Chains A and B, each alone.
Chain A
């Protein structure tokens, strides 16, 4: 649930305003039901800051904290309303699990500070008076609660455990398993009921065990090593780990990219956020890059940066917007859309610049010509018809859902699920595409200059997709129509979804040992890399193996890596012609046609 953002600088202090600006740019992702921040901020005298929520209607802070040996009296640092306040005591050492008992702990750490409450991001900042605060590393979270009430300040993010503090956008389906591990291994007895909490415990535990952040993320994402530590379900996590040398910031997302995360590395500062627009809000000059499924970014205190799954950023020369174009920077999305609708109906041509993640841009509009500069927000150009659109910049998630008879050109990247269920005409992406490009595409063409993510053309029922860069995994699963061209070779194991390799091999060997296939066939079958190859080797016997796929009779993707056939050359020529005509950045047709392509088409089992 929610919107998350973080920033870490290698050599300067960052103002609080930056992370607040990011959260405000993502207002749509949150509600007034919780927000919070954390920063790297060592206690000057080396004490552990223990901060707890106290319900002053029911509890007395001195009494609640009396069992802790402290040098000073508990100090109230914030009043959050409804009788709830935050108290701080300074301790010489970390409190034990028993000492914490049932206290609602906000933090107990030497190097970090955490602030959270109910309310919108700026209201929480107000409660703690964060204005003017600086730190080399910040994280912030705006909450849209779905698994626990939205009126308890301790259920807001971040969640912290020792020197680890995390913010999480997601919903763990592994919560029950993770919780048991934390319960028994760490002796934690009292849980808030919010799933995100266990991530803080797990990270802190693994970091204390001496794993470095990269290995630790492997354990959480892939379940390597420690059992029950694997995180399942959607998650985008950003964490700070306080170390004496400085802050460590990490960000990682689930294997399937079920939550978005964008990253920018700019002048020694690393930014992460749920939306590209939020990164722009932190640093207008930043160049946000998509983070792919199971991607990660880690910034170690010594300045080492590890990045995996970051999509390359390309720079384009954009034309200048016409003088009469709308400046979107001061407009809400509704105002912007009203203006665009008016211009389209009056003159058939609309333009706007300075878009900063405005959503639903021009959804349901058409016909006419539309030009946009900036970052186009989620669910834009949905249900459009007869629209000719140029986007000079990037588009976030869900662009052009159900678009018909529209030509859309993006001089930048597009986020996940672009052109879902598009029925006709064209989408041209000069940058890269996120996951599930062309999911259940029904018709029309899509051309991508750069890379495309996982599940390209999932459930595709018609149309053509041409990708000139690389593609991710699970290409064309559930494909029942249309055709995909990918320039160059892609591993056949990336096409469709197959049962575990080990199980297939085991069964092929069993077939051989039963004498149903010969030794030679067995070795050919073991070498086969795709359904089609297996089918041709095993012939009739494939029938028994087919059950492991379950749905081959509906259709499955068949891939071939080869030079184009004449009819395909003709088809690709047409597509590239249309692309060149549309984008004005001509691709070299002759050169492109000399390459080999991976060509993916659906076939059915008879």
Chain B
């Protein structure tokens, strides 16, 4: 580390890797960080391909039918980096009139999200290594503007955009959404809008920089098409559209292809971000390995694939991932997080605080600075390593151009998924299994202090976390993904637009949220009453109320039915699951034409707003997140009454915000349209899809 002076301010130049924190529960575990660092240092990845795994992403469960990992390892050792370079194999492609050496689009990280120097390093590295970089929404940094392979972003906040800047890149990218937070807007606090950031964003100093959740001129596909054509005609450059992988991603991709766009960037669940509400990051959108094959198939089916670029992103970490993604149907990979790791990211999730310990996302006044030279070299090395892996795989598959392998799903085989998933993805099933894998639930919920101390939605930076996919699930509902509104309808910002949680049950009682509260603490009861949430004990006072465990039908005539998981004993994780029984009873009441005369309450080991959303969408009228309240009850025991009540109130308010954020992201504005709306859910697992009567992701 060097200590120097610049502008009379002390700062520290970083040019080494720090010890990684890693993502214990998520995707970016230590070994992946080590892998990328190895590649960024040596210019070659440790191995080209690995054997398919039993667990994890679809990409991890995919194998190359005709390639043996050991053979490739031998070949890699025999050829060495120079030998691989000499192979007569082309893994690049033509992109907006420029020939790229690697099929990599370095994801749109703005100046502001990153602290400037990393933006410069990425842009320089892209030019040197033959990749392309998206500049994000924060205006165009003058040093970045010197690079050639840059793509200018047209985002909802319009920061810094003018008719000159929009023409400065090789293409324009209309950003509709991103995988980490589909349908959620952005907010750069006024305290950070200073100096160069304010100037380049063309904002008065100190203004809160708000990016609306949707583009307020793009509420539909025809609006998008109009914007694509307008920008194309105005700039004379090709236009890309970046969207998060929502349920209808295939049709959205076809719509984009028909709009005269050059390509679509499809960002899957688990993608990185500087800041996102945790609840949104963890539950909305589908992973890229479900989205890409479906989009590719539909594009071909509709005759819209030729000349169209499909770019997939979200937890892409190695050359092998890119190769598989291309075989699944993409042309390129969109990578952000891995590039940051190559520049030293340690995955500490503090991006949004402005105090990044690796000098990547810290605020301009923070003393840490990443060394541009060093960072550029790392990214170049790492891109070279990806190029070499891709060359090796292409060569081993007997092809001279990687782009000829786009959509060759027949060269892959899938392990340990069910038939429905294999069919949706369109890859032959080598050995059947299940996507979902479970672990015993933790005794406690991890409630963050911000929830009950300040009623704030927990925010997190980076990380790839998709329950039941990158991480073991606890219950089948963990495998359900929530719909995001992308392109075809606008998402709704619950803080600025109306989302009604007004819940009216069969007897005309009106509540402020469909969140039922267990009567375990007097302070909690008072909190719920002040806010107008239903109480379990009051519901049970109704003469026609009954509580049944999952698996038992209530006798006919009961009007309030609480399906109570805990009636089976403390560890009653036996089948049927709570969620299965909600679906069964909901259907039963519909069939008997009495659905609107019954109130169905799901009570059990539910933790957060996402659980409530999913159970209500599956068919419950109300849901009781007991696990959260039990944890809180234990945590707060011994505290004074007033303090407990306030903590409970904060939690109840926060739960409603979570629910509204999730609904708004999918363009749902009222509880009425959420209840029983299984169309808003998609399952990552075929068996779960069947048992919960929810469509499969991508299908």
Tally A-B pairs: CB < 8 A. Answer: 259
B489 touches A547 (CB 8 A): no
State whether the Cβ of A462 lies closer than 8 Å to any Cβ in chain B. Answer: yes
Which of B455, B490, B502, B676 contacts A177, CB < 8 Å?
B676
B258 touches A144 (CB 8 A): yes
State whether the Cβ of A506 lies closer than 8 Å to any Cβ in chain B. Answer: yes
Name the A residues within 8 Å of B530 (CB-CB): 506-507, 510-511
Question: When each residue 644-658 of chain B gets 1 if its CB lies under 8 Å from chain A and 0 otherwise, what string results?
Answer: 001001100100010
Question: When each residue 457-501 of chain A gets 1 if its CB lies under 8 Å from chain B and 0 otherwise, what string results?
Answer: 011011000000000001001101100000000000000010010
State whether the Cβ of B567 lies closer than 8 Å to any Cβ in chain A. Answer: no
Name the B residues within 8 Å of A360 (CB-CB): 229-230, 233-234
A398 touches B217 (CB 8 A): yes
B158 touches A440 (CB 8 A): yes
Name the B residues within 8 Å of A478 (CB-CB): 210, 212, 493, 495-496
Given contacts A503-B512, A510-B530, are A174 and B677 in contact (CB under 8 A)?
Answer: yes
B204 touches A461 (CB 8 A): yes
Among B161, B487, B678, B679, the one with the most A-chain Cβ atoms within 10 Å of its Cβ is: B679
Q: How far is the CB of A187 from chain B (nearest CB, A)?
A: 11
Q: Once bound together, how far apart are the Cα atoms of A174 and B670, in whole Å?
A: 9
A439 touches B216 (CB 8 A): yes
A223 touches B531 (CB 8 A): no
B222 touches A554 (CB 8 A): no
Q: How many residues of A contact B (CB 8 A)?
A: 92
Interface residues on B, range: 35 or more
A503 touches B676 (CB 8 A): no
> Which of B32-40, B110-118, B319-327, B591-599 lines the interface with chain A?
B591-599
Q: How far is the CB of A588 from chain B (nearest CB, A)?
A: 33
Q: Once bound together, how far apart are the Cα atoms of A360 and B235, in whole Å?
A: 12
Name the A residues within 8 Å of B61 (CB-CB): none
State whether the Cβ of B355 lies closer than 8 Å to any Cβ in chain A. Answer: no
A420 touches B158 (CB 8 A): yes
Question: When each residue 164-188 of chain A gets 1 if its CB lies under 8 Å from chain B and 0 otherwise, what string results?
Answer: 0000011101111101100010000
Given contacts A28-B225, A503-B531, are A146 and B252 in contact (CB under 8 A)?
Answer: yes
State whether the Cβ of A116 lies closer than 8 Å to any Cβ in chain B. Answer: no
> Which of A7-15, A107-115, A228-236 lines the interface with chain B?
A228-236
B158 touches A500 (CB 8 A): no
Nearest neighbor of B208 in chain A, beta-carbon distance = A480
State whether the Cβ of B666 lies closer than 8 Å to any Cβ in chain A. Answer: yes
Nearest neighbor of A195 in chain B, beta-carbon distance = B679
A423 touches B202 (CB 8 A): yes
Pull 27 A–B residue pairs with CB atoms less than 8 Å apart, ordered by A. Answer: A1-B220, A28-B225, A144-B255, A145-B251, A146-B221, A149-B298, A150-B302, A170-B489, A173-B673, A234-B667, A258-B489, A259-B219, A364-B235, A379-B217, A379-B230, A401-B158, A421-B161, A443-B204, A462-B207, A474-B497, A478-B493, A478-B496, A500-B502, A506-B530, A510-B530, A550-B495, A550-B657
Task: A234-B219, A440-B216, A480-B208 are known; give 15 further A-B pairs, CB within 8 A.
Answer: A3-B222, A28-B222, A151-B301, A171-B488, A173-B485, A174-B677, A228-B672, A233-B667, A363-B234, A397-B223, A420-B217, A459-B212, A477-B496, A480-B210, A502-B532
Chain B positions within 8 Å of A, measured between CB atoms, are 157-158, 161-163, 166, 187, 190, 202-204, 207-208, 210, 212, 216-217, 219-223, 225-227, 229-230, 233-235, 248, 251-252, 254-255, 258, 298, 301-302, 455, 483, 485, 487-490, 493-498, 500, 502, 510, 512, 526, 529-532, 590-591, 593, 595-596, 617, 646, 649-650, 653, 657, 666-670, 672-680
Chain A positions within 8 Å of B, measured between CB atoms, are 1-3, 28-31, 33, 144-151, 169-171, 173-177, 179-180, 184, 223, 227-228, 230, 232-234, 255-256, 258-259, 334, 337, 359-360, 363-364, 366, 378-379, 382-385, 397-398, 401-402, 404, 416-417, 420-421, 423, 436, 439-440, 442-443, 458-459, 461-462, 474, 477-478, 480-481, 497, 500, 502-503, 506-507, 510-511, 514, 544, 547-551, 554-555
Q: Please name the 4 residue pairs, one residue from A and one from B, whose CB atoms are nearest each other, closest first.
A: A176-B679, A510-B530, A176-B677, A174-B673
